[in-house]
Every structure is written in C-alpha cells, then in structure tokens.
C-alpha cells in the first residue's frame, strides 16, 4: 500500500492523503500501544509513504507527544514529516488557567507540547475544541501571534460550530492574519453531521477536512457484534441500535468484497463530498495495515449508494427546505430540475 502525496489546502505543504492519529501512542488511558508497538506503527506508516501525524497536548497524559517526538528523532525524519498538535484541553486538575481557548493557555500549552515533542516548532497547531469563552476576533489575533513567533508554521481549527469557523476564516482574510489551513471534526458512516454545514463551509473557503472517528472507535471492525470487548462503552452511540445495524451492513458488504470491514468504512469516507483527509488510529501495526486496505479499494457505486442509504441523516432546515421541489419551483419555474444543487450534499434532494 503506497499513500499519495497531496497539498494541505492552501498551505503548500505536502502531506500523505491519510493522517496517522497517535492518540494510541501510550497506554496511560488503559488501552493503546506501548513504546515498542508505537514504533512499529510509526515505521509501518512511514513505509506506506505516510508523513502526516496528529497528536494533542492531552493525549495519553502527554505520552503521545513524547513518543512521537522520540520516534521522529530516531528515524531522522523531522524535515519530511508534518506534525499537528492541539491546545484547549486541560492537563492538570485544579489549575484554573490550564485549559480553555484563551491566550494564556494557548501559549503555555504550546510551550509544553514543544518540550514534550523535543521540537522548536510545530507544522500545524489546532484549536482543539471551542469553549464559547472568547470571540473569534480574539482567537484569530492570538493564533496569528504564534505564527509570527515562528513556533507555529500553520494554524487550524477543530470541533467548533460552522458559524465560528466561517467567522474565523473571514476575520483572518480581512485582517491579513494567518489563515486556518485545515478543519477537523468527527465524520464517518455513523456520524455524518458535518455534511450539513461544516463540510460545505470548509469547501467554500478551500480548506480540507481532517476526519476523526472514521472507524467509529473500532466499532466498524464488527468486534462488538461478536461479543468482544473494547474501549467503547456499551452506552455509547457507537454501540447503539442504529450503530449495530449499520455495522452489520458494513460487515456484510465487506465480506462480499473480501476485505476487512474497517477498510470498507475508510473507503466510504474517501468518497465523501468536499476534500476529506481521514485520520486513522490503530493499536497495532497489523490493525493499521488492515485498515489501510480501504485506500486501495475500488468500491462499486451501487455499494456506496447502499451505504449512503443505510447511514442517511436528515439535513434539517434550511437545507431540506431549500433543496425541495416547492421552493425550487417558486424560484426557477418549470426548469427547476435543470438548476444544479451543489454536490457537497451527499444525499439526493
């Protein structure tokens, strides 16, 4: 399996068309890969042509960043890889300014991440999650300062409302600040909510979407259908009645293709509207190799349509209203079917 090299939005940086999520680097959370298995994961991804790595200050209590930094130095690949980390989540209890979107936490979180990674700068620095405590204007001013400092090459946004993302992009453009070059959020067969507003907003601004949760925490492997144990609790949406039915469909269709179910789940994501770069995590090199089968799958269109139907969501107002026959007839008359609805909406109107 050889990954392709693509541009990361308008940054000009070349990244692999899959990003390796390193939240599994370290065992502090009761699951994941120890240092030796993390090394195998890292090396396997490099051998596939991968060079894009995602981590965060909070992952495995800081071990994710430490292990990733050590491996990059061991393999002498700092000039080849693109490292993304994040701030916002707390690392200490009882410390009022350890966590949040504000500038103090931003600065101290970045410095701590650089120390754990053993680096002078990071290639990509995310706001990890919106906390509703500051204005988009303040956020973009603060992020721009980090780029000017040289400690951050590019900035990105994650897990925030579409209106906040759009405001941030517009402010950065108008004030000639550094612009976010990526948007991250949960997107999979099970969780398609980003199709309503976030994916169209990202496409409007020419920003790629980094999709996490593409394998539903491993649920799409089918292991919970067999009664196996895993890190996803029984009351999770990833093990709901809808999730079970959807996983059964994925397992059935994957068997028809002769591939692993997680490979098919990944392949579906690659056919999503917009510019999607999946973030793939694994607890072993073998698991990673099984998942990456999806990158080479040629899935029949009728099978993709079957998965679309099984995972369909309601787009809600105003999307369903604006794509409906009545409003389009009132706008375009008898020729309303000739007017194209943006392909960013996966379902037919």
Query: How many whole angstroms separate alpha carbon 200 and alpha carbon 142?
Result: 26
Total-model pTM:
0.93
**Structure tokens of 220?**
């799409």
Question: Is residue 141 flagged as an active site residue?
Answer: no
Binned at pLDDT 50, 70 and 90, residue 335 comes out as: confident
Q: Say how many residues make up the chain.
A: 349
Buried-state track 241-277, b at ≥16 Cβ within 10 A, e below 16? eebeebbebbbebbeebebbbbbbbbbbbbebbbbbb
With a pLDDT cut of 90, the percent of the chain lying above it is 77
Which of 31, 59, 87, 315 is catalytic? The answer is 59
pLDDT in tens, 154-185: 999 999 999 999 999 999 999 999 999 999 99
- In this prediction, residues 322-345 reach a mean pLDDT of 78
Half-sphere exposure of 104 (CA within 13 A, CB side): 7
Contacts (Cβ under 8 Å, ≥6 apart) of 234: none
Superfamily for the 5-314 domain? NADP-dependent oxidoreductase domain (3.20.20.100)
- 177, 155 contact by CB (below 8 A): no
d(CA 23, CA 213) in angstroms, rounded, equals 12
> Would you say 216 and 188 are in contact if contact means Cβ atoms under 8 Å apart?
yes
The 10s digit of each residue's pLDDT in 7-41 is 999 999 999 999 999 999 999 999 899 999 999 99
Domain ranges of the chain: 5-314, 315-349
Q: How many Å apart are CA 220 and CA 291, to the nearest integer?
A: 10
């Amino acid at each position: 399996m050889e990954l392709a090299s693509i541009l990361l939005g308008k940054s000009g940086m070349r990244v692999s068309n899959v990003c390796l999520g390193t939240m599994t680097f370290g065992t502090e959370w009761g699951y994941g890969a120890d240092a030796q298995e993390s090394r195998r994961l890292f090396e396997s991804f490099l051998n596939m042509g991968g060079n894009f790595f995602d981590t965060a200050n909070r992952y495995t209590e800081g071990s994710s960043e430490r292990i990733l930094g050590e491996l990059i130095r061991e393999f002498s690949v700092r000039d080849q890889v693109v490292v993304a980390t994040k701030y916002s989540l707390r690392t200490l209890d009882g410390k009022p300014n350890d966590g949040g979107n504000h500038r103090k936490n931003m600065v101290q979180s970045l410095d701590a991440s650089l120390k754990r990674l053993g680096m002078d700068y990071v290639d990509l620095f995310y706001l990890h999650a919106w906390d509703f405590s500051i204005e988009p204007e303040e956020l973009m001013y603060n992020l721009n300062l980090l780029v000017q400092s040289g400690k951050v090459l590019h900035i990105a946004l994650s897990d925030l409302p579409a209106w906040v993302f759009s405001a941030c992009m517009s402010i950065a453009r108008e004030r000639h600040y550094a612009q976010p070059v990526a948007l991250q959020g949960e997107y999979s067969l099970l969780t398609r909510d980003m199709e309503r507003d976030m994916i169209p907003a990202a496409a409007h601004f020419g920003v790629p979407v980094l999709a996490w949760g593409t394998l539903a925490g491993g649920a799409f492997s089918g292991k919970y259908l067999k009664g196996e144990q895993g890190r996803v609790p029984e009351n999770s949406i990833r093990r709901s009645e809808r999730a079970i039915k959807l996983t059964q469909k994925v397992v059935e269709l994957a068997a028809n293709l002769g591939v692993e179910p997680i490979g098919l789940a990944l392949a579906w994501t690659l056919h999503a509207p917009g510019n999607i770069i999946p973030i793939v995590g694994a607890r072993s090199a073998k698991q990673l190799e099984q998942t990456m089968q999806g990158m080479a799958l040629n899935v029949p269109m009728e099978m993709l349509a079957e998965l679309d139907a099984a995972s369909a969501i309601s787009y809600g107002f105003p999307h369903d209203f604006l794509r409906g026959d009545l409003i389009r007839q009132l706008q375009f008359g008898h020729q309303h079917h000739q007017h194209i609805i943006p392909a960013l909406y996966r379902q037919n109107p």
